[in-house]
Chains A and B, each alone.
Chain A
């Protein structure tokens, strides 16, 4: 993608309103490195520091953020809404059985036998609307089918709202749900409520992840000190290069092997990525994880928490310097202070 395009993408959510909050994305490539763990703990710690935070769970195939926050989506304060996509509905009064729609369908989702009306196989349809757009007889109406849900969970913790996207099992169009979430946070009535938006991404480096990173201002990659972690993080770095974004990284379970230090050195030699710190394997953290309690709120002092809070301080500083003109301080109405630095 060239620069012009990436600028355009960014401006789509920044130029319209100068008070758009910064978006921080948590990603990493490999599954199970601690993306959701870090994203949820960042979210609660920022909200504890008087930021109004929206955490968006964009791992729509397996959304786990609410579990790590110890919450359930059947809570009565949760609003859920179906996410639907277009599917053609053939109007038999207008259709002349010409077969153009079937020929135009790149997913081969339209079935049509000679001299018969066309029909659609919904699971193959990507909702591209090509059939409707090319039909010369206006014989295709719009119908919609659900492929997932979104859940809005206000005040999950004080100052922290949660938006969860969830793909219905057996559906393939996860990217559509991710897009829906991105569109959602770009609505003024949503984003104007927040000082910070955090995206928790899916593992991998596919289109869902690409869309999230593209829509973000700051990207934090979580990895682990194994060749698996490094290999998959390298894929994320390549992706970030394509979409022209820099990234920060955290090594989680840094003492899992003796490679942690070497890995941080190796990765730090890349120009496009900056080391924020590491979090060790920690028994207390695991206890909290099992209980669904964010470890950063645990009143006890333990190594992983100390390490995490140091990383948090750095992130807060970067966000403040890069995106928020005035330093965040406690007990003030931060929304008024928040002004995006310049217009990209």
Chain B
């Protein structure tokens, strides 16, 4: 769950920024794509990663126009971050201790009455080794299983994108995020890139913790609704507990102007930095349909300007840190 970043810290000076929100669907991926586009346009050397490994969407907006080229420069690696129990029938003496003595705390063992053997539910299995350690005849072994893939490719916008996706039911989102960060960090090192921009998962659980642990800055995206405010506050409580500096972007600000005012007032009162805000734009979803970064597709001066402003602030934070 925890990324081992500290070692490379002094050498690389890679500035890592993670975008989270608490609530889903407020615009994390749209905003990340546009910030990446803008930073690259300003000739900054960046690398981008999609840490929403359960619903990885960032690559959809950066799919290279030439599909052949895409396949050529793409590397896919399978990662094994999970271990699962495997039942070895030849060793079983049908004593049923595994069930009667509740070896498994995760409800992953059930009893097959007909064959008098246990069944392992591989989705529920946590790989805790209890069955393996406790079975008197060692009828369970623990084996590594494929937990997901990490895909790296060069986008058409002067930066590589590293995207992770878990295999369903592998129960390993947090560890996948940690793996993904290692891949992104080592590529950044190789290519001497200065800023890693990561699109994070919704929520505040294990994968979010893995995506913000040890990063230099967190961007919180929210929208003016009670639910989004509630969720972003929970996300901020995590970021604050890690002492990570953060800034807020308010999306769809005219969705509820009254709430927007209340929200900004609250953030200001707390002394939380508001990096910028965006109005509702009905053409925004069409950028996703057309698989392009929002700012590129919209060609809207005001929106471009706002992204430019936020990108500059981000880059300045990177400069401040290394100086």
Residue ranges of A at the interface with B (Cβ–Cβ < 8 Å): 1, 4-5, 8-9, 29-33, 36, 59, 61-62, 64, 67-68, 86, 104, 106-107, 124, 126-130, 133-134, 167, 169-170, 172-175, 179, 202-208, 210-211, 214, 224-228, 231-232, 235, 238-239, 242-243, 256-257, 259, 286, 289-290, 292
User: At the interface, yes or no: B205 with Cβ under 8 Å from chain A?
Assistant: yes
Given A130-B129, A203-B203, verify A67-B168 contact (CB < 8 Å): no
User: At the interface with chain A, which of B181-189, B234-242, B267-275?
Assistant: B234-242
The reply to whether A232 and B288 contact each other, CB–CB distance below 8 Å, is no
B166 contacts which chain A residues (CB < 8 A)? 206
B29 contacts which chain A residues (CB < 8 A)? 228
User: At the interface with chain A, which of B120-128, B154-162, B296-304?
Assistant: B120-128
> What are the 6 tightest A-B residue pairs by CB atom distance, in nearest-first order?
A32-B25, A31-B24, A61-B203, A204-B54, A128-B128, A172-B206
Given A206-B173, A228-B29, A228-B57, verify A170-B206 contact (CB < 8 Å): no
The reply to whether A238 and B105 contact each other, CB–CB distance below 8 Å, is no
B51 contacts which chain A residues (CB < 8 A)? none
The reply to whether B234 and A62 contact each other, CB–CB distance below 8 Å, is yes
A134 contacts which chain B residues (CB < 8 A)? 133-134
The reply to whether A104 and B129 contact each other, CB–CB distance below 8 Å, is yes
Question: Which of B1, B241, B288 has the largest number of chain A CB atoms within 10 A?
Answer: B288
B119 contacts which chain A residues (CB < 8 A)? 4-5, 8
The reply to whether B237 and A67 contact each other, CB–CB distance below 8 Å, is no
Given A133-B130, A203-B203, A256-B285, verify A32-B291 contact (CB < 8 Å): no
Quick one: which of A133, A167, A174, A210 contacts B134, CB cutoff 8 A? Answer: A133
User: At the interface, yes or no: B194 with Cβ under 8 Å from chain A?
Assistant: no
- Complex Cα distance, B130 from A321, in Å, reads 43
Residue ranges of B at the interface with A (Cβ–Cβ < 8 Å): 1, 22-26, 29, 54-57, 60, 83, 103, 105-107, 110, 112, 119, 121-124, 126-130, 133-134, 166, 168-169, 171, 173-174, 201-209, 225-227, 230-231, 234-235, 237-238, 241, 255-256, 259, 285-286, 288-289, 291
Residue of B nearest to A103 (CB): B133
Q: Report the minimum CB–CB distance from A262 to chain B (whole Å).
A: 10
Residue of B nearest to A237 (CB): B168
B204 contacts which chain A residues (CB < 8 A)? 61-62, 167, 169
Question: Can you identify 17 A-B contacts, CB atoms within 8 angstroms?
Answer: A1-B121, A5-B121, A32-B23, A59-B203, A61-B208, A62-B203, A62-B231, A128-B106, A170-B241, A172-B209, A205-B54, A207-B169, A210-B168, A227-B291, A231-B60, A235-B54, A257-B285
B105 contacts which chain A residues (CB < 8 A)? 86, 127-130
Residue of B nearest to A204 (CB): B54
- Complex Cα distance, B29 from A259, in Å, reads 20
- Complex Cα distance, B285 from A246, in Å, reads 29
Residue of A nearest to B54 (CB): A204
A169 contacts which chain B residues (CB < 8 A)? 204, 234-235, 237-238, 241
Quick one: which of A227, A232, A292 contacts B226, CB cutoff 8 A? Answer: A292
Given A203-B55, A290-B256, verify A106-B24 contact (CB < 8 Å): no
Residue of B nearest to A127 (CB): B105
